[in-house]
Amino acid sequence: MKDLQRNEKLIIDKNIPNPGIFAIVPIVRGEIIFYFDRHFVATPTNISMRVDEHRHQLSTDPTLPENFLNHSCAPTSFVDFEILALKALRDILPGEQITYNYYTSDWDDEDVFECHCGASDCHRYIRGFKNLPIEQRLKIKDFLSPFLLSKFYDGLSKDQKICHPGRRSVWGPALGGDLTKI
């Protein structure tokens, strides 16, 4: 059933320099795009996704879309870590790439890479949440993995530790993370 759902919405394009997954039907904001293949390993790999301190999601099936999920600084989707599903961050049109922000799950900079997403506020070099200043951490707070929420203040100087990440309602809706409501 899960595979059927994936195939109805997505196509994996391997004929481009950086293979990725693309919508083939309109997807509406908040919609579940797919469920991850709930399989956890203790040691990360270059395609695993960190969920908790000692749990890294790593599909047992290398053909699944989750293995081709690329980063963007202006992503079209986000990971709902409570149900381990990928959801649409906004309405997505057929042909658009399904991406998520690696900063919402990557802590350190073991796999630094150069980003070419084209977003006006592109980070350029993707180095892990540990390297983000407080302003940028707050912008993605609603989308962080449990592990990164537990590390929210780590690596910051004392004067940057001014806000409480648990106060979700203060920082706007779960979707969008609207900082204008502060």
Binding residues (CB under 5 A) for Zn ion: these are 73, 115, 117, 122
Rounded least distance, CB 115 to Zn ion, Å: 3
Question: Closest CB to Zn ion among 115 and 156?
Answer: 115
On whether the CB atoms of residues 79 and 144 are closer than 8 A, the answer is no
Question: Closest CB to Zn ion among 86 and 117?
Answer: 117
Rounded least distance, CB 114 to Zn ion, Å: 9
**What's the farthest any 2 CA atoms get from each other in the chain?**
50
Cα-based distances in Å from 123 to 49, 56, 58, 60, 132: 20, 24, 26, 31, 10
Question: Closest CB to Zn ion among 116 and 168?
Answer: 116
Rounded least distance, CB 74 to Zn ion, Å: 7
Question: Closest CB to Zn ion among 126 and 144?
Answer: 126
Give CA–CA dist 179/20, Å, rounded. Answer: 30
Task: Using alpha carbons, select from 23, 126, 33 the residue that is nearest to residue 80.
Answer: 33
Rounded least distance, CB 123 to Zn ion, Å: 5
Rounded least distance, CB 119 to Zn ion, Å: 5
| CB atoms inside a 10 Å sphere around CB 62 | 9
Question: Closest CB to Zn ion among 48 and 72?
Answer: 72
| Backbone phi, psi, residue 87, to 5° | -125, 155
**Beta strand pairing call for 70-71 and 97-100:** parallel
What three-state secondary structure class fits 140?
A: coil
